[in-house]
Amino acid sequence: GSKIFYERSFLLQCRNSP
Amino acid sequence: STLLSPDALIKHPLQNKWALWFFKNDRTKEWTANLKLVTSFDTVEDFWALYNHVQKASKLPSGCDYSLFKDGIQPMWEDGQNKDGGRWLINLNKQQRHSDLDNFWLETLLCLIGESFEEYSDDVNGAVVNVRNKGDKLSLWTRDATRPDAIMKIGKKLKDSLKIPIKIAIGFQAHTDTMTKTGSTARDRFRV
């Protein structure tokens, strides 16, 4: 099946989003 | 009214639900009583809310551990999903507590929640950071110590993510070896 994965850069971007 | 993109509205779901555990060494209590489940999460946003809230590993008193494991797996060899597995073990020297420990731990967490080990992500159970006076340790736990392809791929990706130089080798130890070791350290089944 399909897997949800996230790039490191995207995860770091989400750190400060409200 | 302003239209908000779904991206701004919904939390980003993770492939797995993860649980953060905290261990504080209190010799007056039973070992298992010292192990506490902090909380579990399954979105990117909830991960950051937790990570930004808790104490940094480098600031923990000596004798403490953080563990992040897939929901349902306890951070101990005895767990049914750990007992046949093993761990990539990274030993840090005393100076590295201030220079590397927090970075190494965060990069490891991002690899776990982001499923960075691709087709071998299912082999990964979790990771542990042990804060110790004699030298901190970071380890990544896999569920089956007899799968060399998965273990080597995971070890290489871990070293790459933590920017550990090629010439510095890390070892993989099966938990059964660690449990029955006679000397101070168990033998390495794999190295990368």
Distance CA B184, CA B174 (A): 15
Of the pLDDT bands very low, low, confident and very high (cuts 50, 70, 90), residue A18 is: low
Cβ–Cβ < 8 Å for B23, B29: no
Question: What does the pLDDT average to over B57-65?
Answer: 97
Which pLDDT score is estimated for B171?
A: 97
Asked if B14 and A12 come within 8 Å (Cβ–Cβ), the reply is: no
Closest CA to B124 of B177, B163, B161, B178: B161
**pLDDT for position B49:** 96
Nearest to B15 among A4, A12, A17 (CB): A4
How many CB atoms within 10 Å of residue B180? 9
Q: Is there a contact between A15 and B52 if contact means CB atoms under 8 Å apart?
A: yes
Reported as a single tens digit per residue, the pLDDT across B46-60 is 999 999 999 999 999
Strands (E), B27-94: 35-43, 65-70, 86-91
pLDDT recorded at residue B121: 96
Residue predicted with more confidence, B45 or B181: B45
Q: Which of B15, B52, B114 sits opposite A8 (nearest CB)?
A: B114
Interchain contact B118–A (C-beta under 8 A): yes
Cβ contact, residue pair B15, A3, below 8 Å:
yes
Tens digit of each residue's pLDDT (9 = 90 or more) over B161-179: 999 999 999 999 999 999 8
CA distance B169 to B171: 7
The answer, yes or no, to whether residue B89 has pLDDT greater than 90, is yes
- Whether ipTM exceeds 0.90: yes
